[in-house]
Amino acid sequence: MSGAHRATAWLLAGWMLFSGVSAAPLEEIQARLSEAETLLAQWQFEPARRIAERLFAEHPDLPAVQWLAGWVKFHYSEHAAALDLMERAAAAFGPDFSDPRLELVRASARLSRGWISQRSPDGRVMVWHAPGVDEVLAPELFDCVRRTLEVVGADLGHQASTPVLVEILPDRQALADATGLPLSDIEGSGTIAVSKYNRLLITSPRSTLTGYSWADTVSHELVHRIVSERTFNRTPIWLHEALARFQDTRWRAGEPLYRAGLSPADESALAAALRQEQLIPFERMHPSMAFLPTPEAARLAFAEVYTVTQFLLERGGYPGLRRLLDEIGRGRSDWEGMQAAFGLDAQSFPRAWLEWLRRQKFVERSGEVALETARSSGPERRFEGGPLLVRDFFHLGQLLDARQRPRAAAVEYRKAADQAGPRHAAAGMLLEKLGRALARIERADEAQRALEHSLEREPLSVEARRTLGEILLPREPYLAWLHLREAARINPLHPGVARGLLRASEALAQNDDRRMDWNELRLRYRRALALLARAGIGEGDAERATPAPAQASAFLRINSVPWAEVWLDFRDTGLTTPVLELAVAPGRHVVTLVPECGPPEVVMVSLSAGERAVIARELCRAEERDGGE
């Protein structure tokens, strides 16, 4: 029990004595209150709820019981009811009463006002979100949770309690308010979701502009919940993250496009840190990855702990992992459990893991940035450590792209990709640019090859998957649908992805394909497009975001420090600053600059025919932009 909880418990006891509750019932009530608080801390939520329900039935007017009932309801996303009960109790305790949990409940009640809920068809998942486009996430989220419960439950030997409660929050500020974590730590580490208070709290993909691997993130947070329940919340954070990071894609195992293992970027970061002896110590991961100083440090830490689970599985398989969790659940320390399950202790485990790690053949890419300088980020970092010609060819390709000359742009992108080589950090991006340019001039076979090679290096590229899906659609609609589904698991609010999924499902239904219920999926994708259109990011956006031909155009010159991706009217232009001339249709436009060092910056412009405007911005805080120097 925390200090605040302990102080609250003493205050509750004092209030009950003052109210005339006799000593014997007081001791019994206090014992049951303490038991419920302990169960909540151990992630045993159903037993805690049963105690609160019985106590409230017997003593509905006792503020101590009202407080507990409200705190339990908070864990079940009943925020308005929780706030009412806890504020009643706080008022009865008097003006000197203080407990930080009350502010947490107030913040959640405020955030959730007006939310709607959806329940999965099997009743095992409840999701809450603001009305609007976040509804699009629900069907895939239901499937992700169901499959994670089945696959990870079998792997780790625990069937989690249901329903699983998920809240989709509008942005990182809301995540900070709902969890009590400092916003600076959330932004500094790149934290996007948290498993806390019996709920999976995830940030909506709409807050990130380009999306993120939200479906795997839901699975990741659910693994945390499974581990916490199974071990009574006794598992240390390094082991928690090791299991969650390794298991968070297992729900997709067996799918045609599934690829296990670290991404090329994570593998490269780990290889570089191992070579430079800059691994993140396990103790720095406590009490949360959210407190690591940079997204790059968090990425490295997650890569490290992924390999911890790989190492343990090679040594003892899932039976070994289940034995380890059994021991921790019985109250033994992590190292006592490790000794019992794998024959390793606090001294021998790090040595054995590092020896194993050094035997792995990790590929380190060229053009990466050292961890301590990673804050000076921007698209230009991808060309560090490589030939200057790579950058020159790339920027020439961008200029030609902006002037609607995709054939010439493709030539320059190919030169850049050839000059960089397959192991350059920018190779995936360069091949994506090449593939998209080739697709625009209808060289489909070449475009397909370039995009497939791009995805081998950058598997989370939405635009590469969307373009590849469009190329494949006429001849291989099922493979097209698979790639578009992967894109939707990153950015489900991309209208081009939703339209592609609808077209693929219509083609497969017409072909009488039996692998999925295409009629049900058609309805889902039509609903998604309707929601996107209602939010102003529907059918017309692709046309609005396409630069206008030179005649009857207006023109933008765009620059930023550091360089940033350029989005026009909610669509990725494929360009990064500096953009010397971007032709757009006359009228009102939304220009978004997306640096790697901080949040996007949105600029509204209105242009008349023939008008030229300049956008120049300093992005990110100076310490982020300049590496904290």
Q: Is the peptide bond prior to 163 cis by the omega test (within 30 degrees of 0)?
A: yes
Residues of the chain with CATH 1.10.390.10: 121-359
Model confidence pLDDT, tens digit, residues 229-286: 999 999 999 999 999 999 999 999 999 999 999 999 999 999 999 999 999 998 888 8
Model confidence pLDDT, tens digit, residues 36-59: 999 999 999 999 999 999 999 999
Transcribe 162-204 into DSSP letters: SSEEEEEESSHHHHHHHH---HHHHHHHT--EEEETTEEEEE-
Strands ordered across the beta sheet of 579-584: 579-584, 554-561, 612-618
Model confidence pLDDT, tens digit, residues 449-472: 999 999 999 999 999 999 999 999
Q: Say if residue 353's pLDDT is above 60.
A: yes
For tokens 């014992």, name the residue: 31
The CATH architecture annotation of domain 545-625 reads: Sandwich (2.60)
Matching CATH number, 379-544, of 1.25.40.10, 1.10.3720.10, 1.10.600.10, 1.10.3080.10: 1.25.40.10
Query: For residue 32, what pLDDT is reported?
Result: 95
Query: For residue 293, what pLDDT is reported?
Result: 86
Cβ-contact 218, 144 below 8 angstroms: yes
Residues of the chain with CATH 1.25.40.10: 379-544
Instruction: State the chain's mean pLDDT as an integer.
Output: 89
Cβ-contact 577, 593 below 8 angstroms: yes
Largest CA distance in the chain: 88
- Taking the C-alpha atoms of residue 328 and residue 324, their distance in angstroms, rounded to an integer, is 6
Query: For residue 629, what pLDDT is reported?
Result: 37
Residues of the chain with CATH 2.60.40: 545-625
The fold adopted by the segment(s) 121-359 is: Neutral Protease; domain 2 (1.10.390)
- Taking the C-alpha atoms of residue 428 and residue 515, their distance in angstroms, rounded to an integer, is 31
Q: Say if residue 628's pLDDT is above 50.
A: no
SS3 of residue 605 by DSSP: strand
The CATH number given to 3-112 is 1.25.40
Q: What is the mean pLDDT of residues 539-551?
A: 43
- Taking the C-alpha atoms of residue 159 and residue 154, their distance in angstroms, rounded to an integer, is 8
Q: Say if residue 4's pLDDT is above 80.
A: no
